[in-house]
Chain A
Amino acid sequence: MSLLTDSTPAGSASLPAGVPTPARRRMSQARLRSLATPYLFIAPGVILFAVAILYPIAQAVQISLFDWKIIASATSDFLGIANYVRAFQDDQFWLSLANSGIYMLFTVPPQIILGLVIASLLKRKSPAQPVFRVLFYLPVVTSWVVVSLLFKYLFADAGLLNFTLGDILHLTNGDTSWLANRWTALIAICALGIWKGIGWSMMIFLAALQGVPQALEEAATMDGANRWQRFRAVTVPAIWPALLFVTVMLVIGGFNVFTSVLLMTNGGPGGQTEVVLTYMYQQAFTFLDFGYGSALAVILAVIVFVLSVVQLRVFRDRSGQDLA
């Protein structure tokens, strides 16, 4: 390999052995430099991360305790936990939290189940496999803005979905005003979430399924295990880490729903489809109530964090049992 034979000029960090004694000071300098090396490598990233991510995390909590004024000259009044108290008494906040929760509950299981089913169907290598993989993954790489507008168009009063349901399948009258009513609008928003996300979970499950030991599967078949038993006893334990990863990420993603709601309904009609992040965004950037907006963001972050920890616990306990 040319990489290795291509010897580069000696760096200051490595002096040849048997250095004469006068060089001891240079030696310690060199050692200092080699001590500093790792820090120099991480410095640009860590500094940027500290300034643009860590500091804002701390500031989010701080801002939430104030009636924060964005104008430099105005003073911000300290409110203590008043913004949090206000959130707990705010019906609109509870409605938006419920909508976020509903979105999470109705998009995560379908993405996991359908993703796993499609991955199982696609598991066997064949010429058609890459084609299907691309088709299912296409929505994942398409921007949220584009697919949100696309679904708004499909769910329009005179849109393709109403035509399909009414004139082709005769399931409805074909005159549903999907986006004008809380529940039907949530259906539209959830449908988009599932449609866009299936490819992602499929891809991860597909890779995980390749790692299921073939021998174990054959042994189970020889022992007379049927398809479902094999799935439960061999496949599930083998893909457990992937299952955990997908679930945790999807739950976080579910509470993070924003763009699709903003573009499809903008929280309407009358705030009925507001989710936590659109409500937070409105408080902060429409009403300039940064303190209250921050409080909402902090509450959501805490909920997401607690849910993630709970899932990790549950999954770890369960995996111990299944493998035992």
Chain B
Amino acid sequence: MSRIQPSTVLRYAALTVGAAIMITPFLYMVSTSFKPQAFVLSNPPQFIPNPATLDNYVQALTTQNFGLYFLNSLIVAAVSTALSVLFSSMMAYAFARFAFPGKEIIFRVLLIGLVVPAMMLIIPQFILAKQLHLLDSLAGLVVFYVAGSLALNTFLMRGFFESIPAELDQAMQVDGANAWTRYWRLAVPLAKPAIATVTIFTFLACWDEFAWSLTIINDPLKRTLPVAIQLFQGQHSTQWGLVFAASLIAVIPVIIVFLVFQRYFVQGLTSGAVKG
């Protein structure tokens, strides 16, 4: 029998305390979502709701177009992600496989997109969206979400495409495959892990995006989830149970995606950083 070292015990003790601190707010949020309004800020606080109620969930789901907001978020995130992954994988393929005049400079300009935070462009983008009649429309969200995610996605996927042996490309070229075929039938299938990674990251970023949606959407029927949740808070004296029931409905898909595709998260985070 192997002896358990004291340092191992200490290590796990420290990790457990840390993890408990990280997770307590979530557990408390779940607990509050089952509390009646009278008990959300009671003293002492309740960890196990008593009486427990499903009213908050019922109210969140049945009133105020919550289903519609969920659908809006889903449509915007799905369309943005599909377009972003298509455009940026095409760019990444060109940067990884072709030599062409202007390549270096275009790639460098693209990198500007990595360092300019989205919030700093919100004013000129708002004015642009107004000129293009994209205000107050889901299309306005999609266009700017795609544009905002191009730089990072291209950067991540270029690295992956470069790691695919060029011989495969050349072999296909000898067989007479044109560039599009080589991209679509060879590079994309081989780059599945990288594409999965950027797909997940882009989808979550769009699903969670708040500031731009808050700024350009006025029509209550076009709201996305983050804006709607934020408004739950303001409408009455904050109904925390309702706010967190709505929050959890929005967060649970994210957590499921994260748990299922964990390894792609790790890949995506590290391919950008560690090799750098």
Contacts and interface: CB of A to CB of B under 8 A. Distances in A.
A149 B273 contact: no
A263 B123 contact: no
Given A8-B176, A57-B112, A70-B130, A285 B215 contact: yes
Interface string B105-132: 0100110110111011111111110100
A interface, over-half SS:
helix
B247 interface: yes
B178 A207 contact: no
B210 A121 contact: no
A42 B185 contact: no
A142 B251 contact: yes
B123 A6 contact: no
B181 A8 contact: yes
Interface string B258-274: 11001001100110111
A228 interface: no
B181 A49 contact: no
B147 A138 contact: no
A274 B270 CA distance: 34
B69 interface: no
Size category, B interface: 35 or more
B interface, over-half SS:
helix
A146 B211 contact: no
A245 B273 contact: yes
Given A135-B22, A142-B251, A142-B254, A7 B115 contact: no
Given A55-B128, A139-B22, A3 B113 contact: no
B66 interface: no
A57 B151 CA distance: 15
Interface in A292-309: 293-294, 297-298, 300-301, 304-305, 308
Contacts of B52: none
A7 to B, nearest CB: 4
A26 to B, nearest CB: 15
Interface string A60-83: 100100001010000000000000
Nearest to A259: B210
Nearest to A157: B41
A146 B29 CA distance: 10
Nearest to A174: B43
B48 interface: no
A84 interface: no
Given A122-B15, A158-B43, A41 B179 contact: yes
Contacts of B254: 141-143
Given A143-B208, A145-B210, A153-B240, A195 B270 contact: no
Given A121-B11, A142-B254, A150-B247, A207 B91 contact: no
A155 B116 CA distance: 32
B189 interface: yes
A45 B276 contact: no
A13 B175 CA distance: 12
B1 to A, nearest CB: 17
B190 to A, nearest CB: 8
Nearest to B12: A128
Nearest to B103: A38
A187 interface: no
B207 interface: yes
A285 B117 CA distance: 18
Contact of A145 (B22, B112, B229, B276): B229
9 contacts: A4-B175, A13-B179, A41-B179, A54-B109, A114-B18, A122-B15, A139-B26, A141-B255, A293-B123
Interface of B: 11-12, 14-15, 18-19, 21-23, 25-26, 28-29, 32, 40-45, 86-88, 90-91, 93-95, 98, 100, 103, 106, 109-110, 112-113, 115-117, 119-128, 130, 143-144, 146-148, 150-151, 154, 168, 171-173, 175-181, 183, 185-186, 189-190, 204, 207-208, 210-211, 215, 226-227, 229-230, 233, 240, 243-244, 247, 250-251, 254-255, 258-259, 262, 265-266, 269-270, 272-276
